[in-house]
Amino acid sequence: MSIEDDVALLERVPTLRLLGTQALRVLAIGCEQRDFNRNETMFKAGDTSDAGYVVQRGAFRVTDDKKHEVIARPGALIGELALIMAMPRPSTSVAIDHSSAIRISRSLFQRVLDSDPAAARRLRDEFAMRASQLASDIVMVSSRLTS
């Protein structure tokens, strides 16, 4: 794929779209494409995270230790939190069929944020909004359970 194709793919990811086209171009130039055969593991639960992946082609089954499952298709970001912090992977990701993904290392992502403070603020605001929504959802569920 060309850089322009990669930028267009990254723009499909809501979280990454917040960064803006110029930042996405830098990510597209610095990232790497990884191909996965059917049933090949991208990463396992417990592995130390160092990158996020955007599905280019094919699909990945992402499962956690409780056997919750999500199918990630083209345009999906797998391992979003790995872009901003090191942590054990909470899930395992396995290719369903021959698939490819763009690997964005945390160090590359951090360099993009360091070079574009406005993009970093937009991303911070998005994460703050999500955290606030999650807290509201927890309070609502908690109140229903105690009623």
Domains of the chain: 3-146 (2.60.120.10)
What pLDDT shows up at residue 98? 97
- This prediction's pTM: 0.87
Distance CA 5, CA 8 (A): 5
Hey, what are 126's tokens?
A: 């998005």
How far, in Å, are 14, 45, 82 from residue 70 at the CA level? 17, 14, 18
Type of residue numbered 78: I
- Tens of pLDDT, residue by residue over 72-120, are 999 999 999 999 999 999 999 999 999 999 999 999 999 999 999 998 8
Residue with tokens 């990510």: 27
- Closest residue by Cα to residue 28 from 50, 48, 56, 59: 56
- Tens of pLDDT, residue by residue over 7-60, are 999 999 999 999 999 999 999 999 999 999 999 999 999 999 999 999 999 999
3-state secondary structure (DSSP) of residue 147: coil
